[in-house]
Chains A and B, each alone.
Chain A
Amino acid sequence: MENKKRTKTKYFCLSVLGLFLFFGIWELSVRLGWVSDRVLSPPSTVVETFIFKLSNVNPDGSTLPQHFLQSLRLALSSFAVAVVIGVPLGWIMGYYKWASWLLNPLFEIIRPIPPIAWIPIIILTMGIGMSAKMFIIFVAAFVPCVINSYLGIRLTDQVRINVAKTFGASDWEIFTTVCIPSSMNMVFTGVRLSLNASWTTLCAAEMLAATRGLGYMIQLGRTLIRPDIIIVGMFTIGFTGALLNKVLGMFEKKVAPWRYRE
């Protein structure tokens, strides 16, 4: 027990060391003039800018929390739509042969198109409003939801289906009481990938004329040659992404406790 605790502390120290080295070398490389501070700000400046941006609208018109909330709303609402449509669609495609034959070929063609490639056609058809941005993120988030729920159903253990059959379960009951719960492992993987995709596609979506949002702030930082603002935006995205992942993991543990050992 004591030993386990010590190992844990050791690994924690290693993680801290990794971060410390990364930021240390970065700070030094700017301080020592290896990299010009016009193109890269040192972490200390980034922290200053972060604190400044918490409550100040300069130079991009909104405070960091305003940008952040705008982006979060955009990403999460698109993500939610993708999950609500994508997961059931994947389930149906996985369980019903006709649905798979009907939709799979189309899906296979759409799947490899990167979300960014959608932008021009979306601007032409939907303009540059909120719904256009949502659609780009939706496309990115939708694909992993469908694929993983589809596979989750397909990978259902035949013996479990047989158990349900010997219980006299109907086709629909087998789908709802055996296949869907069995697929949850894969569904959660899909949802996790989908959340990542929606958060990482955010910047691309906010390249469409936006007046607020983290992607917009980053873009403006480039125009104004303010690497500190760009980096603040990047790290906000990074931290939030990691945090969202954690939250989703906790949610998963609540909803599907059978996946975890005691």
Chain B
Amino acid sequence: MAVLKNKISLKNVSKTYYLKDRTVEVLKDITLDVKENEFLVLLGPGQCGKTVLLNIIADLEKATSGEIIFADGRPKMGDLGMVFQKYALFPWKTVMGNVEMNQKLKGVDKATRQAKAQEYINLVGLQGFEKAIPKQLSGGMKQRVGIARAYASESDIMLMDEPFGALDAQTRYSMEDEIIKIWEKNKRTIVFVTNNVEEALYLGDRIMLLASRPSYVKKEYIVDLPRPRSYTDKAFLEMRNEIVANTDLDI
């Protein structure tokens, strides 16, 4: 693998919540690099603070300590693509309305932003559904809209917070293929959060295994398997077993 430049560097990022009667240490000294155009997976048990970490990178939450360095300077709010766990589409907007919203808020004129949005709708394979509202779509289609919407931010960094967690198994497999296809067609830096070992191995260039609360980087795995990968490949299974043995139980 060629040496890639660092896109985002996290240095000793910690997050502690101070509640009325106790303090909860969620993240502890997380240090990691995200390389340009790589598919990085943050893998960890449920409730381990993966979402918090992603929110901190997206500037939706502040870290208690530590720093985050973006190679090209911190992107402005609105210049970072994010895909959310439960789709989080705007149900009162059509597919087009959802996908174009980022550019609309930036004041881009209608013709330009809709042409762009159309490109991304096509990219995720939803052409013909521009005028549908989320309620009319299946779970997989909804998350395609979520992905198109994040891409439409035109950001070169994509943060994905367990985007396939709410999908049934079959749809999940096909969406995993889909996201790789999309990423190969339109390379961006992806930080993908999941609690699913197979998904992490199927998708990631690298996997950062996070420990349970307080969360820290337990181990880094470089997945040097050719794509498309197979769930039943011997090397895949060996790696899977190694990671599983190393994963904290989610209690």
Contacts and interface: CB of A to CB of B under 8 A. Distances in A.
Interface of A: 157, 159-160, 162-169, 173, 177-178, 181, 184, 256-258, 261-262
Interface centre among A184, A256, A257, A258 (most CB of B within 10 A): A258
Contact of B80 (A166, A181, A256): A166
B136 A262 contact: yes
Contacts of B133: 257-258
Nearest to B60: A162
A167 B77 CA distance: 6
B79 interface: yes
Contacts of A184: 92
Nearest to A184: B92
14 contacts: A160-B88, A160-B90, A162-B82, A166-B77, A166-B78, A166-B80, A166-B81, A167-B101, A168-B78, A168-B102, A169-B78, A257-B133, A258-B92, A262-B136
Contacts of B80: 166
How many B residues touch the partner, as a band? 20 to 34
Contacts of B102: 167-168
The main secondary structure of chain A at its interface with chain B is helix
Contacts of B90: 160, 163, 178, 181
B227 interface: no
Contacts of A169: 78, 105
A254 to B, nearest CB: 13
Contact of A163 (B76, B82, B106, B136): B82
B91 to A, nearest CB: 4
A258 B153 contact: no
A163 B88 contact: yes
Nearest to B88: A159
B58 interface: yes
The main secondary structure of chain B at its interface with chain A is loop
A262 B135 contact: yes
Given A167-B78, A168-B105, A262-B135, A159 B84 contact: yes
Given A164-B105, A167-B77, A262-B136, 4 more contacts: A162-B82, A165-B60, A168-B106, A258-B91
A77 B153 CA distance: 46
Nearest to B159: A166
Contacts of B134: 258
A157 B88 contact: yes
B84 A163 contact: yes
Contacts of A261: 135
B86 A159 contact: yes
B211 to A, nearest CB: 25
B55 interface: yes
A100 B17 CA distance: 26
B135 A159 contact: no
Contact of B82 (A160, A166, A258): A166
Given A159-B84, A166-B80, A258 B135 contact: yes
B92 A166 contact: no
B114 to A, nearest CB: 16
Interface in B60-102: 60, 76-82, 84-86, 88, 90-92, 101-102
Interface in B104-139: 105-106, 133-136
